Chains A and B, each alone.
Chain A
Amino acid sequence: MVASAGSKKRKAVTRDVEEEAGAFSGDELAGDLNGALSDSANDLSSDEDDSEVELVDEFSSDEDDDEEDELDSDEIPSDGEDAVQKKSDKLTTAPSDDESSSDEAEVNFRIEKDANGNDRYVYDEINPDDNSDYSDVGENSNTIGNIPLSFYNQYPHIGYDINGKKIMRPATGEALDALLDSIEIPKGFTGLTDPSTGKPLELSQDELELLRKVQMNEIPEDGYNPYEPLMEWFTTEKEVMPLSAAPEPKRRFLPSKHEAKRVMKIVKAIREGRILPYKPPAEQDEEDKDIIKYDLWADEEERPDHIMHVPAPKLPPPGYEESYHPPPEYLPDNKERKTWEQMDPEDREREYLPTDFGSLRKVPGYGEFVKEKFERCLDLYLAPRVRRSKLNIDPESLLPKLPSPEELKPFPSMCATVFRGHKGRVRSLSVDPTGVWLATAGDDGTVRVWELLTGRQLWSVQLSEEEAVNVVRWRPGKDAVVLAAAAGDDLYLMVPSILDPELEKASLELLDAGWGFAASKPAPSAAEEGKRAPPQWIRPSSTLADSGVCAVIPLRYVAKSISWHRRGDYFVTVCPGSSTPASMAVAIHTVSKHLTQYPFSRRIKGGGPPQTAHFHPSKPILFVANQRTVRGYDLSRQLLVKIVQPGARWISSFDIHPTSSTASGGDNLIVGSYDRRLLWHDLELSQRPYKTLRYHRKAIRAVKFHPSGRYPLFADASDDGSLQIFHGSVTGDMLSNASIVPLKVLKGHKITGELGVLDIDWHPREAWCVSAGADGTCRLWM
């Protein structure tokens, strides 16, 4: 009923629209009609008869004034798709109705009244069989053929369909209008019930219009026109020149008088003080004297990382191999590529092969990227990191503070004189106590005396034709000038003829005094003679005597070392040869008595035959060195007082510090060895060396302290052809150790036959030293 009411209302509305506003109503009708037409088309295609019938029914009912039924039946097809189902229902019900009717009349039509009141033959619907040939022919198509329709003008139908049924003329507008006009609808009928009153709701035309506007989403306000004529603010026409080319007006260039006035006004106001120029508001320091403010962060510095902070290890920066365009030498050749490809990915040295892409844009995505990053993250996350405390010590700081050699001058630094003349090696040399002469001895069997400064040879003597002179030493002391030399098996004592008569006389007397003692001495007994008879001093041959030789001591063995006692009355010789009987290796000679004694009856224990011996400069101690040790014997008590074990394999020479034991310090000893070591011993400290200096490349042949004590220097001579000068100061303080500073390496001697510098000596006063070389020269260094 509601639906019928709606349709009624719609109809009413339609009509009202038609009457009052033709434009709206036309749209409305067209919309409704379209929908109706489509519906009817569907109806026609499916069951035209039904619709026809219904239409007929409608009109008939209309006629019968059964409004509600008519409207109802009319409403069904217009209600969309639901109607289709209902129609199909009707199709099923309809035949039963037809059968009943056919049963009653036995004719295939029935006569009904049409809208004009004429008889209308209504034939039953023919149900076509499924196998009907005409099923494809449109059921509703007119079958009257090609004749003008005007022939049917007088009939209610306009033709026949395929079933021979009349196609009824559709109702014309006049008929509908006539029908509608016949229906009286109260003014303002809406079909709605006012819920407050229960009476039919009646709406005025204004109210309906308002509703319509609301329904149409239009502005419901009265008098609003959405289509007012356009007022152009800018022109819609296209301009050739969008900007004006007109010249700038003059006023634009003139200073504005108005503005000037305004400005002057402001200026005046400022001058008069009425306007105060803007002043940035001074920061209001509310200095409260009582409150002290502390700037906690005033001197804050960047703090170092926490002590436990361990920075992540950094990846090495990418190299050329990772480059997209590596240098050609980084590119693998085919063989390398093959081996890389054949290798197990786990074994590969690197994850990628260097590839030349030519340009960056050709580089493809790196497939291993995620994996690589993941592994890196794993490394960072899982690898334990430990802070390793590194010991940072400047190695320089560990070195002892040594004074610079410059501060320790003077010391010999340059070769001042070369003494040439010896044929063959110069084996030994010695500077005389006055420091004017130099005595040298060499393989040519001569002993020569030179003027030290100029290198002029002053005197020479040929001691032996074939045997080398092994050692030459001046007798200490200035009261006489005596030179002791060992050539072959003999020792020679000489007075070179370079002296003034007085001194020469004194020297000769010194040497000659012993002849008397020797003569007065009882002849050695037979028993002594057999074993170890001390040699008798003999007079030299006349040629030697003319040359200046005064006495000869036939030692029977080759002496390699001579060392004078400081008083000049004794000297000790050592015959280190292995064939020398142990008891005769060390001999002490007394010049004043022409006496030779063998202090040792047995071999010194350990370390082979004795090598060299020296008297202590102040004490009655004789130091004897064999190959391994240096032993000190107290001559007065005849006791072994010291054993020094330098640790060298074969001692070549040693020297005793000249101020030893006098400056309250202990004895100091330097030992040179054939195994390249120079060892400093402080006898007070230990048997072991205090310092070991290994600076030479070859064996050390000779070591010597500066004899004066004025210069704390010592030097060594080595087979590598160099001399080394050291500063070794001995302090009187027992607590402080000797400081040893290497000063200078003096090079100049040529290495001849594996031998370099064979002997060394110091000038008695100056910091000059002389060296004897295997190259046949001696050199003065100063």
Chain B
Amino acid sequence: MSTTPNDFMAEGEPDQGQAVEQVGSSTTPDSWWQVVWSSKKARVGLVILGLYVLMAVFAPLIAPHDPLDGSFTPLLPPSGEHWLGTNTNGRDIASQLIFGSRISLLVGLFGGALATAIALVVGLVSGYTEGTIVDDVLSFVTNVALVIPALPLIITLVAYSDTRGVWLIVGIIALTSWAGAARGKRAQIITLRNRDFVTSAKFSGEGSARIIFSEIMPNMSSLVVAGFVGAATGAVGAEAGLAVLGLGDTRSVSWGTMLYQADAQGAIQQGLLTWIFAPGLALAILITAMSFINFGVDLLSNPHLRED
């Protein structure tokens, strides 16, 4: 997988008494996406995730009905018209399922990204200022955020807010889930900061901002990717959990709200299996896909896991 072109090898014979300069074909350290892609599980995960993304993007084209249209006969069994039947409110379950992917992916993407961004900023600043009061404060905040259990806090925060839009949920999930990643990034930046190339950047006249963002950050891409995948997975699960408790976005359809309504309206007692099983399974497959991707990403941070 070496990217070193062979024509770069020095040709010609070395003369005696003169140093031969050649650039060897020492194997390129694989870039992070190559490492991730090298894992079979990660490939499967990426493909499934890709399908979900397509489903979310093209939901209006794929779904047979409007997910909020309650004009159908309630409790229809699965048929050609209603693939998974209708629920007690006369809504098409298949369409709800398809549109539901949008919320999960949205929350996963933005919740994960926001949490990663917070973790990155806190981790970078804290690690770079290690040993100063700034680091002490940030580390304390990080550790506090780490030990406080997320869900009860999220529930309390969401319960107090009037409007429960997707963005509120994204924001609150991000705010309560960045700490672990921040701690990891702090640890890594401390090891990177003590590497000679950072000192030598100072000797090259670089300022602090450039050292953090141009010298150190590019070396952390694998950790950032791993952090993002983990945070996104967590966000997808947290959104579903909130929705199941009735704290979801009431104006849109998500798999969590489907489960909430199914549970609240006694779908189990009535044996409405598709209503219960479909959203749970959709969620499980999405999270499985993301965990599979994480297997690939884990190879980045733990080289011992490679080669199996």
- Do A and B pair up? The answer is no
Interface residues of A (CB under 8 A from B): none
Interface residues of B (CB under 8 A from A): none
